[in-house]
Amino acid sequence: MLAAQLQLRHARSEREAVERSERQAKGAAVVAPVLSLLSDAEPQRLTATPGTQTLTLMNELLERWKALRDPILEFAAGHPSPRIGEATDKVVLAVTNALTTAHWLIHDLPESWSKESLETARADNDEAVKLTRVLIDAIRTGDTA
């Protein structure tokens, strides 16, 4: 009887480890591309050579975000940790804000943009990067609290 209970406990531990590993891999696959998006959307880089292609690039970045957002939300919705859900909500809001302020900045180029609007866009991008890294760390450590 004791041997059977130990076997069941061991099998359950193995199954939980596999599930945790699969969640970590899925989380990394859906969240890590956000860091690439934010790197490409870095306001200083976008404003280095203003022109019509810059606005086209910004629109492409917004489309990339639309494609990335739902899989991230689906991952969080299926994750057992409320912290992952909370961190995901913060990331989604921060990335949306970063892309919005960058879009406003790009839209105003080159006539009416200001150093202040550039700094706001950079701060929003930096915050989105920071929160995305926090989410990735939570996924990596298997946060289940």
Average confidence (pLDDT) over 4-8:
65
What's the per-residue H, E or C state across 83-103? HHHHHHHHHHHHHHHHHHHHH
Closest CA to 99 of 51, 39, 140: 39
The pLDDT of residue 4 is above 80: no
Give the confidence band of 141 by pLDDT, cuts at 50, 70, 90: confident
- What's the rounded Cα separation, in Å, for the pair 130 and 145? 21
The topology under which CATH files domain 24-140 is Four Helix Bundle (Hemerythrin (Met), subunit A) (1.20.120)
